[in-house]
């Protein structure tokens, strides 16, 4: 079994890659195969932590820190992996190189979206004059666009990243242990998502931060109202 795990997926072909290419693959598998999907799961299902007395206990930032730190690690690993293969001939990477470039462009867009998502506002981030106004609290047009673009692009780049990893492993004739780890990890996350979804743990950040009081302006939007009903049914 140990020998099989170390052998390449195609036993009839060699697994011969340069040092830089090998570490490029390891960093990208760790970033996009392991950490990125985990950070998304944390952001979707742990805005309200197990045991938290929501809506009496609000704004638990564990999920935000986990998501932000996780994605910054993904960014750092991706940049490092890119630096390793920059001296190589891009034309030799084929479809994997094109897909990988698209993933990195999407990652940069996500970082920029985060930087320009607007102000927070609300009771937890009052302005010096006591005002509650903020892009997130008021759910301004800017914030609504951020929510749509950030989430949509995030899910799309996860799928694209998985496809890119598969092409990369096939191109490099990667060892069986990498395939086993990825398949088990992705299946585990998929099962966890099904269970957490059934438990109604998918809540948007607005209710997680400020609760479900209709007095908060963002709770009047249809999307927040739907999530609010889900949260109420499970608390």
According to the 3-state scheme, what is the secondary structure of 109-153? Answer: HHHHHHHCCCCCCCCCCCCCCCCCCCHHHHCCHHHHHHHHHHHHH
Residue-wise pLDDT tens for the chain (235 aa)?
Answer: 888 887 888 877 776 788 888 899 999 999 999 999 999 999 999 999 999 999 999 999 999 999 999 999 999 999 999 999 888 766 666 888 899 999 999 999 999 999 999 999 999 888 888 899 999 999 999 999 999 999 999 999 999 999 999 999 988 888 889 999 999 999 999 999 999 999 999 999 999 999 999 999 999 866 554 444 444 444 4
**Residue 125 CA from chain centroid, whole number:** 25
Report the C-alpha gap between 121 and 28 in whole angstroms.
36
Report the C-alpha gap between 26 and 143 in whole angstroms.
36
Total-model pTM: 0.88
- Enter the CATH code of domain 16-126+133-233: 1.20.120
Helix 94-115 vs helix 141-172: crossing angle, to nearest 10: 160
Cis peptide before 120 (omega within 30 of 0): no
């Amino acid at each position: 079994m140990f020998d099989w795990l170390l052998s390449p997926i195609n036993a009839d072909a060699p697994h011969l890659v340069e040092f830089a290419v090998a570490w490029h693959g390891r960093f990208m598998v760790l970033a996009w195969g392991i950490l990125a999907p985990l950070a998304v799961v944390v952001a979707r299902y742990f805005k309200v932590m197990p045991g938290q007395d929501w809506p009496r206990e609000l704004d638990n930032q564990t999920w935000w820190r986990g998501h932000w730190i996780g994605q910054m690690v993904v960014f750092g690993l991706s940049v490092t992996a890119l630096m390793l293969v920059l001296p190589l001939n891009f034309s030799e990477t084929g479809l994997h190189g094109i897909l990988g470039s698209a993933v990195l462009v999407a990652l940069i867009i996500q970082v920029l979206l985060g930087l320009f998502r607007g102000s927070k506002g609300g009771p937890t981030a009052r302005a010096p004059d006591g005002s509650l106004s903020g892009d997130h609290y008021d759910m301004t047009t800017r914030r609504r666009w951020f929510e749509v673009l950030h989430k949509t692009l995030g899910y799309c780049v996860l799928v694209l990243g998985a496809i890119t990893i598969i092409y990369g492993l096939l191109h490099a004739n990667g060892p069986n242990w990498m395939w086993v780890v990825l398949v088990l990890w992705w299946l585990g996350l998929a099962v966890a998502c099904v269970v957490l979804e059934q438990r109604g743990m998918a809540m948007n950040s607005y209710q997680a931060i400020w609760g479900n009081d209709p007095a908060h302006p963002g709770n009047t939007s249809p999307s927040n109202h739907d999530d609010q009903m889900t949260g109420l049914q499970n608390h």
